[in-house]
Copies of this chain bind each other. A is one copy, B any other.
Amino acid sequence: MDIFTTMQDERGRLSQSEIRIADIVLNDFEFAVNASIIELAGKADVSPPTVTRFCRRLGCESFSDFKVQLARTAYVGMRYLKPEPKSIAPADVAQDIITKAQNALFLLHRGLDVVAIEAAANRIAGAEMIYAFGSGGNSSMIASEMQNRLFRLGLRITSSSDHSMQLMMAAAAKPTDLLIGSSFSGRNTELVRAFTLAREAKVPTIALTQSGSPVADVADVTVPIDLPEGDNIYRPTSTRIAYLAVLDILASLVAYRLRPQATATLRRIKQQLVTHRDGDDRQLLGD
- Chain A interface (Cβ < 8 Å from any Cβ of B): 33-34, 36, 64-65, 67-69, 71-76, 88, 90-91, 93-95, 97-98, 101-102, 105-106, 108-109, 112, 114, 117-118, 121, 134-139, 141, 144-145, 148-149, 183-185, 187-189, 229, 233-241, 244-245, 248-249, 251-253, 255-256, 262-263, 266, 270, 273, 277-278, 280, 282-287
Given the interface contacts A73-B75, A75-B75, A244-B244, does A278 sit within 8 Å of B189 by beta carbon? yes
Contact call B109/A90, Cβ cutoff below 8 A: no
Residues of B within 8 A of A236 (CB): 284-285
Residues of B within 8 A of A88 (CB): 253, 256
Copies of this chain, complex-wide, total 2
Contact call A241/B73, Cβ cutoff below 8 A: no
Contact call A234/B249, Cβ cutoff below 8 A: no
Residues of B within 8 A of A98 (CB): 105-106, 108-109, 245, 249
Contact call A94/B114, Cβ cutoff below 8 A: yes
Given the interface contacts A75-B76, A136-B286, does A101 sit within 8 Å of B248 by beta carbon? yes
Residues of B within 8 A of A270 (CB): 233
Nearest-CB distance from A142 to chain B (Å)? 10
Residues of B within 8 A of A262 (CB): 234
Contact call A101/B90, Cβ cutoff below 8 A: no
Tell me whether chain A's interface is mostly helix, strand or loop, or mixed.
Answer: helix
CA distance A69 to B280 in the complex (A): 39
Residues of B within 8 A of A229 (CB): 282, 284
- Residue of B64, B117, B187 touching A283 (CB-CB under 8 A): B187
Residues of B within 8 A of A241 (CB): 101, 241, 244-245
- Residue of B65, B73, B76, B117 touching A90 (CB-CB under 8 A): B117
Nearest-CB distance from A278 to chain B (Å)? 6
CA distance A149 to B137 in the complex (A): 9
